[in-house]
């Protein structure tokens, strides 16, 4: 290709890359059907922005201090169904389903959600083992019970927040039989699956995540893992098989107990009998 043609092409490519970078520095929020977009600068300039210190930062593994905005301030004022969730979607395809009573809480005696905002003039450090930081937007928790918030409820590199119906209502293919007793362990496993696994995986083609494989079609993990190996794999994937591109992390006992892993496996085994058509 002649040089006089290549130069405009290169310039156009650079413009598109820069434009994309700026587009990704805005957080899209859809609350009760109303959509707004917030830039990093706009959030950092808010009157309710404050410095918060996170004692146990899930993403970085250390105590950290951020400039942040109370999440409850950003989503207040909308009347929503009691079983609604706040879906938090990240740039890499991760999608957490956060209960509204959890994200709306303001009582520091429990756990309070804050939206940490990266200042482009003072970039955050890169995440351990990753080429990127947790920014530009990262959901962190403070308060006396912040450590009780599960690891998958600390989404980083956020791009979108949106209120949605409960996952089981939004995606019926996730649901167990309505005749199943309320005390059946499979129901507890379903709840844990949605919190811990549904952030990265779909099931029966249902879900917003676009990070890991579907866990029911074409095959469910219970169909190709021995029970002990599946339990071990969920606890620490690298202890079963490892490769350079592996993304699934290990879960410590205080993040996911052996009993909770067993409940997730029980739900997976149950759903292996409720596959949807491929």
Average pLDDT over residues 55-70: 95
pLDDT given for residue 83 in this prediction: 85
For range 51-80, the mean pLDDT: 92
* pLDDT tier, 82 (very low <50, low <70, confident <90, very high otherwise): confident
Interaxial angle between packed helices 185-196 and 258-271, expressed in degrees from 0 to 180 and rounded to the nearest 10: 100
| Whether pLDDT at 8 is above 70 | no
Residue matched to tokens 């979607």? 89
Lowest mean pLDDT among 20-34, 47-61, 93-107: 20-34
CB–CB of 156/139 below 8 Å?
yes
Question: What's the pLDDT score for residue 15?
Answer: 42
Start-to-end CA span in the chain (Å)? 45
CA dist 86 and 163 (Å) reads 4
Alpha-carbon distance of 41 to 37, in angstroms, equals 12
- Structural domains in the chain? 26-165 (3.90.420.10), 168-271 (2.60.40.420)
pLDDT of residue 120: 92
Is the pLDDT at 64 greater than 50? The verdict is yes
Least confident residue range of 24-33, 159-168, 200-209: 24-33
| The model scores a pTM over 0.75 | yes
Instruction: Give the integer Cα–Cα distance in Å for 95 and 115.
Output: 16
> H or E element: which one contains 96?
strand 95-99
Residue 186 — pLDDT band, cuts 50, 70, 90?
Answer: very high
**219 to 194, 203, 276: CA distances (angstroms):** 19, 10, 11
Strand, helix or coil for residue 194: helix
Inform me whether the pLDDT recorded for 10 exceeds 50: no
Summarised one tens digit per residue, pLDDT across range 94-150 is 999 999 999 999 999 999 999 999 999 999 999 998 899 999 999 999 999 999 999
Q: Average pLDDT in the 54-74 region?
A: 95
Q: How confident is the model at residue 258 (pLDDT cuts 50, 70, 90)?
A: very high
Which pLDDT value is given to residue 185?
96
Angle, in degrees to the nearest 10, between helices 258-271 and 227-235: 120
Residues in the chain: 278
Strand 85-90's sheet: what is its strand order?
34-39, 26-31, 158-164, 85-90, 95-99
CB of 207 closer than 8 Å to CB of 201:
yes
Q: How confident is the model at residue 277 (pLDDT cuts 50, 70, 90)?
A: confident
Between residues 177 and 244, the one the model is more confident about = 177
């Amino acid at each position: 290709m002649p040089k006089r043609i290549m130069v405009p092409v290169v310039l156009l490519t650079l413009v598109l890359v820069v434009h994309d970078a700026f587009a990704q520095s805005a957080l899209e929020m859809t609350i009760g059907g109303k959509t707004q977009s917030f830039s990093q600068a706009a959030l950092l300039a808010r009157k309710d922005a404050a410095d918060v210190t996170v004692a146990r930062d899930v993403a970085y593994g250390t105590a950290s201090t951020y400039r942040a905005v109370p999440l409850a301030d950003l989503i207040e004022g909308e009347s929503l169904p009691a079983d609604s969730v706040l879906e938090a979607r990240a740039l890499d395809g991760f999608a957490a389903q956060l209960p509204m009573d959890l994200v709306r809480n303001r009582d520091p005696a429990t756990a309070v959600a804050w939206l940490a905002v990266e200042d482009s003039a003072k970039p955050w450090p890169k995440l351990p083992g990753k080429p990127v930081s947790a920014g530009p937007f990262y959901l962190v928790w403070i308060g006396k019970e912040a450590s009780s918030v599960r690891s998958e409820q600390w989404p980083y590199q956020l791009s979108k927040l949106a209120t949605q119906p409960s996952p089981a209502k939004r995606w019926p293919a996730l649901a167990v039989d309505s005749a199943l007793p309320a005390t059946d362990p499979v129901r507890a496993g379903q709840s844990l699956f949605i919190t811990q696994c549904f952030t990265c995986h779909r099931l029966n083609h249902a879900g917003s995540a676009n990070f890991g494989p579907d866990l029911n079609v074409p095959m469910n993990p219970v169909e190709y893992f021995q029970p002990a190996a599946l339990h071990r794999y969920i606890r620490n994937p690298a202890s079963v098989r490892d490769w350079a591109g592996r993304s699934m992390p290990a879960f410590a006992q205080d993040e996911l107990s052996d009993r909770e892993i067993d409940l997730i496996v029980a739900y997976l085994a149950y759903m292996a009998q409720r596959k949807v058509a491929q």
